[in-house]
Structure 1
Amino acid sequence: MALCALALSACQPQAPANAAAPESTTAAPPPAMPSPDPNAAPVERAAPPLIKPVALGEFEPGNPVASAATGKLSIEDATLKGANGASFGTERVALVTGGDEYSAGATYAASMQIDASQPVELRHVVEQTPPTDQPGNAFCGGTPTAYIALAKVGEGEREVVKVLALQGQDLPAPGAKGVSVCATTSYLVASR
């Protein structure tokens, strides 16, 4: 019977050995809002590098494609304007070299007929207006021009600006998909 009483008492709920109330824990107060240190020098960050233009100014068409696409061409910091009403609002994207690829296996040097080490300014076209009288004569015809590459080279005694118009949504690069040439043309430095 003693064994039964012991077994029954083991089934009864019992109070834990340490029945004291748990200690309350408090977290440290949140840190105060930091205030600027008036003695600390301000942090200066480097500005992004400026992409220097390879060509600015007035240029005469150097071939029939240039005559039809723009006529006389004015190249400015953010605009290419043709005498025939064609206009391209642009932003500089990169300064590359002729040996760089704008699409898999296609280099600026091969398409523009320039040296592989020649600097090439790549501009993204953000807005454009086709030629007034012949809209189909735009660099890419009825398709929007996405990028324009510019290179200024010496040919004989004249300076020539080579222009490569590209279409496609991707940024011209070796892995770009759908980037293709619309037009290649050249302009001569305008006589003064």
Structure 2
Amino acid sequence: MKNMIQGFVAAALVLAIGLYGWIHYQTQQEVDAGAAYARKSDALVMQQLSMLKDGADVTLADYFAAAHRASDDLSTCAVEIDSREWKRSPDARDAAKAICSAAKNLISTLSVAVRLRFDRDSAKGQSDKAFAAISKSSNSSEIELLKSQMNEAYDKQIHSLDQEIANRKQNRERVQAMLEADSNAVAVLGVPGLSQDIRNKLGGMYPEK
């Protein structure tokens, strides 16, 4: 009888260990999947930011093409996260979903900011060109046309600047959301996260005034 009880205990222990190992394996699989999504999200954000560095050999078309691809990739990630089963680690799912969403929003924010800055700089170039031409012209009709072009360019600059100011609060919130999602992914999923240089760059983009 004693041997039988010992046998039952041993069998139960083996079963418990096996069950624990299986649960741990399933949990780790889900954490690893979440980590892959988080690493991809971070990589796409760092890619877009690296293209904005001074001296980067990147055209506006290159930047927006890359941003479009990144947004599509992150949309795919979101669909995959939602369609996958997360039976053992809902925290991994939530962390992956949060950083994927935050990365997509941030890349959209960066694209809008780049477009507005380009529009403002382009308008400034037009106004400067018109101003220079006015000083060289003696034709009154031409001067009136140039003044009209210059004033239109000034209006474009003001419009772009107004939009940048209006977007500032949302931009700051999206940067903060990305930094928080990244920190959470590091804690929950064990990923390296954004580099400190990137975190510093993001943190300095839209400081509180």
TM-score relative to the length of structure 2: 0.19
TM-score relative to the length of structure 1: 0.20
Structure 1 or 2: more helix by fraction: 2
Structure 1 or 2: more strand by fraction: 1
Higher relative contact order (CA 8 A, sep 6+): 2
**Bigger Cα Rg:** 1
